């Protein structure tokens, strides 16, 4: 290929299409467990997390429900992924070899939020959320100031973690905060430093955002062996949560998220018609099993 402005414009257009194609091919999982929140600043504050109000009969004047405000914030971060190709290879018509690389760059951009969201979920046993406690903890304070009690969303154990998730609410357990979409940028001008100095063309993608914790009440974790009894106990505890005002949160443990190593056990727990002893499995079909490779430890 003759390396000139018009031919490079055609090449960049083709690579841009490959990047968009890679984006479209991806099947990210983060939206199943995280709410996307657009961001317009360097840091987004979530003072409203944990605010759960209650309707009452309107007698007399309105009553203002002043609940505790939290200082939880998620700072945006910038991420990039860049590839470099020798000008000589483009000149020798080798650019077709790199089309799949650009497609992969697009696919990687689409699933990068998975890395952020599930990396955070995996660290939920030792990372604080909006109330100052670890996201999965035995000591979340619930109730009005001075009347708080400790509530647990962690069953205990020391094995491979599994998670019950309520996906029926407006919010989900985690937050994917998006400041800027992932964009594809070429540096192929013959006067660009990378071309003039190193004889290389460069194509890169970058985006801005981060992941953070939402409501801990919507997720319940266990490191106990996954069986019908531990699942039933976790489900009962999860669905018994109340808000600070004493109102039931009406939690629905709709999904059972597991790493690939627990897929068989999870399916046995919620899909088998009968238990090993021949008794009916009363837990059958109460949760949907979601197998997530990002949860592999």
**Pairing relationship of beta strands 288-291 and 255-258 according to DSSP bridges:** parallel
**pLDDT tens per residue across span 182-202:** 999 999 888 889 988 889 999
**Could you give the count of Cα atoms lying within 13 Å of 124 in the half-sphere of its Cβ?**
33
Tokens (6 digits) for 224: 């106990």
Give how far the C-alpha of residue 10 lies from the chain's centroid of Cα atoms, to the nearest Å.
Answer: 36
The mean per-residue pLDDT over the stretch 200-218 comes to 95
> What local confidence, expressed as pLDDT, does residue 191 receive?
86
**pLDDT tens per residue across span 46-92:** 877 866 666 666 777 776 555 555 678 999 999 999 999 888 887 77
Tokens (6 digits) for 119: 């990396």
Tokens (6 digits) for 248: 């039931």
- pTM of the complete model: 0.88
Q: How far apart are CA 232 and CA 254, in angstroms?
A: 13
Please tell me whether residue 287 adopts helix, strand or coil conformation: coil
Give how far the C-alpha of residue 288 lies from the chain's centroid of Cα atoms, to the nearest Å.
Answer: 18
262 C-beta neighbours (distance < 10 Å), count: 22
């Amino acid at each position: 290929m003759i390396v000139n402005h018009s031919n490079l414009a055609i090449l960049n257009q083709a690579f841009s299409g490959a990047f968009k194609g890679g984006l479209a091919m991806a099947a990210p999982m983060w939206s199943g467990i995280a709410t996307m929140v657009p961001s317009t600043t360097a840091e987004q504050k979530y003072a409203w997390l944990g605010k759960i109000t209650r309707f009452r009969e309107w007698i007399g004047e309105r009553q203002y429900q002043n609940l505790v405000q939290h200082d939880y914030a998620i700072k945006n971060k910038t991420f990039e992924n860049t590839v470099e190709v020798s000008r000589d290879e483009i000149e020798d018509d080798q650019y077709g070899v790199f089309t799949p690389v650009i497609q992969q760059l697009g696919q990687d951009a689409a699933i990068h939020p998975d890395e952020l969201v599930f990396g955070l979920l995996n660290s939920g046993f030792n990372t604080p959320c909006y109330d100052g406690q670890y996201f999965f903890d035995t000591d979340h304070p619930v109730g009005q100031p001075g009347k708080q009690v400790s509530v647990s969303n962690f069953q205990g154990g020391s094995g491979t973690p599994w998670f019950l998730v309520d996906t029926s609410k407006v919010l989900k357990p985690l937050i994917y905060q998006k400041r800027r979409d992932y964009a594809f940028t070429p540096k192929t001008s013959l006067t660009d430093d990378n071309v003039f100095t190193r004889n290389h063309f460069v194509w890169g993608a970058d985006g801005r955002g981060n992941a953070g914790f939402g409501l801990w009440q919507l997720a319940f974790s266990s490191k106990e062996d996954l069986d019908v009894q531990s699942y039933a106990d976790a489900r009962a505890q999860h669905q018994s949560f109340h808000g600070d005002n004493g109102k039931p949160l009406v939690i629905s443990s709709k999904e059972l998220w597991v790493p690939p190593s627990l897929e068989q056990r999870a399916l046995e727990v919620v899909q088998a018609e009968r238990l090993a002893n021949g008794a009916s499995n009363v837990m059958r079909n109460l949760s949907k099993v979601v197998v997530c490779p990002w949860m592999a430890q």
